[in-house]
Structure 1
Amino acid sequence: MKLTILGCYAATPRSFTNPTSQVLEIRNRLFLIDCGEGTQVQLRRNKIKFSKINHIFISHLHGDHFFGLVGLVSTFMLLNRTTDLHIYGPKGIKEVITLQLRLSNSWTNYGLFFHELEATESEIIYEDEKVLVKTIPLKHRVYTNGFLFQEKVGDRKLNLDAVQNFEIDQCYYQKIKNGKDITLDDGRVIENAILTYDPIPAKSYAFCSDTAYDETIIPNIQNIDILYHESTFLQQEEGLAAKTMHCTAKQAATIALKANVKQLVLGHYSTRYESIALFKEEAETIFPEVLLGDDGASFDF
């Protein structure tokens, strides 16, 4: 699982900082999460293949999280894309994007599908044989969702020495990897645990931005591997965080601690501060496993 931060700063883009957007690579799938202004430039800068992005998840309809979307949709058209593109976001996202396409006479030459979200409870919005994506309802000034990406548990791993010792034909290998016991020709039943090793543990990643401090999200992210949580302000601006329905670094760390996640990635920083290192320092007073998100940062998990 690999996370590439394309942009992780609040509000407006600047010459050296970008609004929210990131790419999660999980089980050979590329998911784009939010699409702030300048996202396609950051995709090129970070050498991410446009053609591999088939699913885009938009948390909410504040400009710093989706103003880059119509530009990316249009660029896909100019690149002669033929693969379907699926966009998941709040109700209204279809209207705002298709209006721009219609008025500019720029209809796509590929399938463009919108999956509009209205539920206030967590729901499954994407699933295939390897990955599951659920919403995480967040508390912000407009309807907002975070997203939980979960790998599905893979096949068990063959113990080739054991399989060959019992002279089991290769035609049964997939059955064994699926967890089944095997009955030999002489009637002996060989338990699957003898023939296999446990599969590689499935990984999980949660994206939570933008949101006020809200402990109701904890059941949705309990015990996950990686949590990206907004940390717009430092604790000295806790009052401003509450007013604008954002979080401090300390509050993000508190959520990580109470949810028992393995690692916390900070982001969505206000640009009022001299150094984002201050966010990491504050969060580590509460939760030790803190990574500092930044434009262009890439993490392999």
Structure 2
Amino acid sequence: MKLTILGCYAATPRTMTNPTSQVLEIKNQMFLIDCGEGTQVQLRKHKIRFSKINHIFISHLHGDHFFGLPGLVSTFRLLGRDTEMHIYGPKGIEEAINLLLKLGNSWTNYKLIFHELTSKESELIYEDDKVTVKTIPLNHRVYTNGFLFQEKLSSRTLDIEAVESYGIEVCYYQNIKNGRDITLDDGRVIPNDELTFDPPKPKSYAFCSDTAYKPDIVPLIKGVDVLYHESTFLETQAELAPKTKHSTAKEAAAIAKQANVGQLILGHYSTRYKSIDLFKEEALEVFDKVLLADDGKVFNF
């Protein structure tokens, strides 16, 4: 599982920082999460292939989380894209993008499929044979969701030495990987766990931005490997968090601790602060596994 931070700062872009956007690579698939201004420039800068992006998840319709999307949709067209693109986001996102395409008379030459979200309960919005994506309802000034990405359990791995020692033919390998026991010609039944290794533990990633402190999301993200949680404010401006429906670094750490996550990544910093190291210092007072997102930073888990 690989996470590339394209942008992780709040509000307006600056010459040295970008608003929210990140790419998650999981099970050989690539998902774009949020699309603030400058996303396509960051994709180029970090040599991420546009053609590998087929699913885009937008948390909410504040500009610093989706104003880069119209430009990206247009660039896909200019690059001659012909494969369909799926966009998941709040109701209204289809109208917003289609209006710009209509006014510019620049309809895409690829299929643009919108999945508009309205539920205030967690729901499954994407599934294939390797990955599921569920929403995490958040508490912000407009309708907002986080996203929970979960790997499915892989097939068991063949223990080739064991299989060959029993003289089992290749045509039975897939059945063995699927968990079946094998009956030999002499009638002996070989239990599957003697012929295979356990698959790796499925990995999970939760993206939670933007939101006020919301402890009722804890059951949804319990035990995830990695949690990205917004931390817009430090304690010196903690009074601004409930007013703007954002979180402090300590509140993000409290969520991580309650959910017993493997790793917390902080992001969505207010640009009023001189150093993002201050966010980590405050979070470490509550939770001991804290990393800092920053533009261009790559995490491998």
TM norm structure 2: 0.99
Give the partner amino acid of 2:244: T
Q: Give the match's secondary structure for 1:34.
A: strand
The aligned counterpart of 2:218 is 218
Q: How does 1:30-69 map to 2 (within 5 A)?
A: 30-69=30-69
Q: Give the match's secondary structure for 2:272.
A: coil
Q: Which runs of 5+ in 1 are unaligned?
A: none
Give the partner amino acid of 1:90: P
Deviations 1:222-252 (A, max 9, x none): 0010000000001221110111000000000
The aligned counterpart of 1:260 is 260
Aligned-residue Cα RMSD (Å) equals: 0.5
1: distance between equivalents of 2:27 and 2:178?
A: 18
2: distance between equivalents of 1:224 and 1:65?
A: 23
The aligned counterpart of 1:120 is 120
Corresponding position: 1:287 with 2:287: yes
The aligned counterpart of 1:84 is 84
The aligned counterpart of 1:173 is 173
The aligned counterpart of 1:157 is 157
The aligned counterpart of 2:11 is 11
Deviation at 1:201, TM superposition (A): 1.0
Give the partner amino acid of 1:33: I
Q: How does 1:127-206 map to 2 (within 5 A)?
A: 127-206=127-206
1: distance between equivalents of 2:300 and 2:165?
A: 37
2: distance between equivalents of 1:167 and 1:139?
A: 59
Deviation at 1:54, TM superposition (A): 0.2
2: distance between equivalents of 1:167 and 1:280?
A: 56
The aligned counterpart of 1:94 is 94
Give the partner amino acid of 1:127: E
Q: Give the match's secondary structure for 1:233.
A: coil
Give the partner amino acid of 2:221: I
Q: Give the match's secondary structure for 1:132.
A: strand
The aligned counterpart of 1:106 is 106
2: distance between equivalents of 1:8 and 1:198?
A: 37
1: distance between equivalents of 2:84 and 2:76?
A: 10
2: distance between equivalents of 1:170 and 1:257?
A: 47
Aligned residues: 301
Q: Give the match's secondary structure for 2:13.
A: coil
The aligned counterpart of 1:207 is 207
